Structure 1
Amino acid sequence: MAQFEQNIEALIFASEQGIRMEEIMYCLQAALNTEIDESAVIKAISNVTKKYEADAFAIELVKINNGYQFLTKKVFHPVISQLQLQRSKKKLSQAALETLAIIAYKQPVTKLEVEQIRGVNCDYSIQKLLEKELITITGKAETVGKPLLYATSNLFADYMGINSLKDLPAMNELSDPANTIGNQQE
């Protein structure tokens, strides 16, 4: 049974993104050429999770976006933040973050709609978000010219550390009272 758990541990470790239960079961069934019971996989994942809770490990197994992924424990975040500072050139620019936020809250949305909200051209930001696979093209709008529609990708949830779009703050939580003009009436 330990080999079974090690196979699951290896799958999760080797996955660049969170790996879903269905993917784990498919890979195990294909590699081991046998039927796999989901409850056995759940028990094995639980055992692996418990194993990495020990202080001897700097990583832990977490469930994000309905998938399993190894992440650094929070106690090590200050050290990791130094690494992130060194690699900051790979971070998203303010313009890209603003564009991504608009797409996340308004999806599916056209580039023109994003530009109307931001008030500036968004070609570069959208291209960078597509390259980083944080957004995807979901189709074409039924308007004149059939512009492309953009939405967030599954990688977006991983990048933001959330399970679903429902975990994003509500729009009213984001508004700053300092940005309002005049008296607000209820």
Structure 2
Amino acid sequence: MNQAGDGQEHSAAGTSSELAAVEAVLMVVEEPVTPAELAAAVDIPEHRVQVILDELKAEADGTAGGRERGYELREIAGGWRYYSRLRYAEQVSAFVLGGQTSRLSQAALETLAVIAYRQPVSRSSVAAIRGVNVDGVVRTLVQRGLLDTAGTDPVTGATLYVTTGEFLERLGLDSLEDLPKLSPHLPGVEDLEENVESSA
């Protein structure tokens, strides 16, 4: 039932001003933000924020009756954030990078992959798998925010490395459980891991 005189449209999620407030915060965040953080920012209950997030996602995807937008609302690394739609990545990259690239080198990608699947892991273990020194590459990945340290190996005292939330965000993953399984793509990978561990 319409409440005359309040000057606001109501939806199942809440008032249009609540929707707009959540949307405004999402527009300025630099990393995914949780429903609890959004609830605190706009001063409405967290359960209503979750409904609003679903509604905003449907609006961006065009499933709420409008057109599909060039951006989408994604749940990434435990939080929510607006991103440009993946199919327009080439156009966005051309604009943002001005024709230049900031892609990782092949060596960095290979090192990052090893750490992603074997973390926490030391540089020496990664070097044993790749067959080359990875000290410089690991430093670069740490500087870019894709890797972080996670204590030391109790036996060797070597620093252990893990991937970060930034890594998940860049890949569009919610957790490490979403990484593709290696075995179907790399037959014999289990044997390789056993050989590496026995030679360590």
Q: Kindly provide the CA deviation profile for residues 83-137 of structure 1, in whole angstroms up to 9, marking residues without a partner as x.
A: 568231x111111111101110110001111111111111111011101111110
1:106 maps onto 2:114 in alignment? no
User: 1:167 is matched with which residue: 167, 178, 183?
Assistant: 178
1:48 maps onto 2:56 in alignment? yes
State the SS of the aligned residue for 1:172: coil
Residue in 1 that maps onto 2:12: none
Q: Rg: which structure is higher?
A: 2
Name the TM-score, length of structure 1 as normaliser.
Answer: 0.81
Aligned residues: 169
Give the share of equivalent positions with the same residue, in percent: 28
What code does the residue aligned with 2:164 have?
S
* Contact 2:77 2:174 (C-alpha < 8 Å) held by counterparts: yes
Which structure's residues are more often helix, by fraction?
1
Residue in 2 that maps onto 1:184: none
Answer 1 or 2: higher relative contact order, Cα 8 Å, separation at least 6: 1
Aligned-partner Cα distance in 2 for 1:140–1:26: 37
Residue in 1 that maps onto 2:32: 18
User: 2:106 is matched with which residue: 87, 94, 101?
Assistant: 94
Aligned-partner Cα distance in 2 for 1:4–1:87: 40
* Contact 2:36 2:46 (C-alpha < 8 Å) held by counterparts: no
Q: Note the C-alpha offset of 1:41.
A: 0.6
Residue in 2 that maps onto 1:152: 163
Consecutive unaligned residues in structure 2, runs of 5 or more: 1-14, 189-200
- Runs (4 or more) in structure 1 with deviation over 6 Å come to none
CA RMSD across the alignment: 2.1
Aligned-partner Cα distance in 2 for 1:59–1:67: 17
